[in-house]
């Protein structure tokens, strides 16, 4: 958690990233409360994964994003051709709406 949703307290993300720099664990940060309110640079903070919900920064409800440092994931589940067509639509619809709201935040910071 980057920022506490009730108190507004910012957790020491950079310090945690420094501790984990040489550790095999991957560092995930939930940045939903901080996104759009403070500048966030995952590489500088040592973050491997960062997630946020788009509705918190004026994006479409029910969408969000996951920043992932250059990692490869193996699929645990595989769908058929029907699922591939639907996922293409959903994926691109998500990117369009989410990208538009992120652009607004970037311009306002």
Q: How far apart are CA 37 and CA 15, in angstroms?
A: 20
Cβ-in-10-Å burial (0-12, 13-18, 19+) of 59 comes to: buried
- 75-83 mean pLDDT: 64
- Residues pairing with 10 in the sheet: 3
pTM: 0.65
Look-up of token digits 């994931």: 73
**Given a cut of 90, is residue 100 above it in pLDDT?**
no
pLDDT at 22: 92
Cα–Cα–Cα angle for 53, 59, 60, nearest 5°?
90
**Given a cut of 90, is residue 81 above it in pLDDT?**
no
**Given a cut of 60, is residue 10 above it in pLDDT?**
yes
- Name the residue among 45, 35, 49 with its Cα closest to residue 3: 35
- Name the residue among 58, 40, 41, 44 with its Cα closest to residue 3: 40
- 87-102 mean pLDDT: 50
- 55-84 mean pLDDT: 76
Percent of the chain scoring above 70 in pLDDT: 69
DSSP state, 74? -
- Given a contact cutoff of 8 angstroms between Cβ atoms, the answer to whether 50 and 40 are in contact is yes
């Amino acid at each position: 958690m980057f920022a506490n949703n009730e108190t507004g307290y910012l957790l020491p993300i950079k310090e945690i990233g420094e501790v984990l720099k040489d550790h095999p664990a991957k560092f995930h940060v939930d940045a939903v409360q901080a996104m759009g309110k403070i500048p966030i640079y995952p590489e500088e903070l040592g973050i491997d994964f960062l997630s946020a919900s788009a509705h918190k920064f004026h994006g479409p409800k029910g969408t969000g994003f996951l920043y992932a440092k250059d990692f490869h994931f193996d699929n645990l589940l595989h769908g058929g051709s029907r699922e591939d067509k639907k996922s293409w639509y959903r994926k691109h619809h998500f990117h369009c709406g989410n990208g538009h709201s992120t652009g607004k935040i970037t311009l306002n910071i």
